[in-house]
Amino acid sequence: MTRSRIKSIVVLLVMSCATSPTQTRGPIAVPVPQPAIQPTDNGPWRFQYRTDTVAYQISRSAAIESEIDSGARHEITTNNSHEILTLNVVADTVRYVAVVDTFSTATQGAIGSVQQVSLPIQISGVVDSTNSFVVDSATAAPSCDPVQSSLQGDVRNLLITFPAQLTPGLTWRDSTARSSCYGTIPMKASIVRRYSVVGRTSYGGQALIGIQRIDSISAHGDGRQQQHRLVINASGSGSATYYVSPEQGLVFHLTTDQDLEFAIQASGKTSRFRETAKQEYSLVR
C-alpha cells in the first residue's frame, strides 16, 4: 500500500472518528466514572440542552498497524482543534451552528505531509427528540472534506438525545448513519450506540452525572482513487464516557476510544490494518 493511501486512512479515522462494531483483536480498556458517595442523590435527573454558546477544545490521537511492502509499520497522528457550538433549543428540537476555528495535525512515521486547511469551517442543522440529524443543505460538503467531516462527527458525539429522566443503571440505545471519507472516496457508516447511567460523580471539582457508551460500527466505501478502484470495509468496537450537568444542560467532558479493522481491496489485492484512536472533548466556555 502506498504512502498516500496510508495518509488517507488517517484522515478518515482520526478526523472523522466514527466509533465502531464487531469483535477485534483485543478489548478496549473502558474508563468507568466512579460514583461519588452521595446516597441521598440517586436521581432522577433530567438533562436538556439549553439555548447557549459553548466552546470545546478537542484532542485526537491515532495509531495504525499495517503490513506494507512485506514489512510491518506503525504510524501515529495527533490532532487538536477548537470548536464553538451555538444552540437554539425549542421544546425537544435543537438547532445548532458549529464552527471550527483552529485545527492542527502532527504525524510520525511514513504518513506523509499534512494538507493545509482553510478556516473557519461551519456547519449547521437540527437534531430532534428521535436523534435525527438534519444538516442544512447550504452547509453540506460538495466533496470529501476531512475537517468538515470531523466537525460533523463531533456534533453527533456532543448532541445526543437523553431519556426524559436519568437514574443510576438506566440504559438506552440509539443508532445513526453518517458519511465519512477515505481520501476522495465517500463512505457510509452505520453506528449503534448503547448508553448506561453510572450515577452522580465528579469531574474537575464539578458535581456531574457519569454516562457510559458502547458503540458498534460497520462502514463501506467503493470508488476510484487515481487509476485504482478501491473497495473498503471497516468494523470494530468503541466506547465513550460522558460527564454531564443536568442543572446547566452541558456536556462538561467527553472521551471516546475506538479499535477498528480495515480491509481495502485494490488491483486484486486485499490490504488489512488496525487503527486505535482516542478523542477528548473539554469544555472551555
Least trusted range by pLDDT, from 82-91, 101-110, 155-164: 101-110
Has residue 161 got a pLDDT over 50? Answer: yes
Tens of pLDDT, residue by residue over 254-267, are 999 999 999 999 88
Most confident of 71-80, 153-162, 217-226: 153-162
pLDDT of residue 7: 41
Task: Determine the length of the chain.
Answer: 285
Q: Give the SS3 label for residue 37.
A: coil
The residue ranges of every structural domain in the chain are 3-283
Give the CA distances from residue 110 to residues 1, 4, 261, 265, in Å, rounded to whole numbers and listed in that order.
11, 9, 20, 21
User: Is there a contact between 19 and 279 (Cβ–Cβ < 8 Å)?
Assistant: no
What is the Cα Rg of the chain in Å?
Answer: 19
Instruction: State the pLDDT confidence band at 244, using cuts at 50, 70 and 90.
Output: very high
| Mean predicted confidence (pLDDT) in 203-209 | 91
**Statement: residue 209 has pLDDT above 50:** yes
* pLDDT given for residue 30 in this prediction: 47
- Distance between CA atoms of 99 and 251, rounded to whole angstroms? 17
Confidence of residue 69 (pLDDT cuts 50, 70, 90): low
What is the pairing mode between strands 52-68 and 185-203?
unpaired
Contact 234, 180 (CB under 8 A): no
pLDDT above 70 for 20: no
What type of residue is 34? Q
At residue 170, does pLDDT exceed 70?
Answer: yes
pTM for the full model?
0.83
Indicate whether 15 pLDDT > 90: no
What pLDDT shows up at residue 39?
Answer: 47
**pLDDT given at position 67:** 64
With a pLDDT cut of 90, the percent of the chain lying above it is: 50
Least confident range of 70-79, 85-94, 203-212, 227-236: 70-79
Name the average pLDDT for the chain.
Answer: 81
What gap in Å lies between CA 237 and CA 226, rounded to an integer? Answer: 31
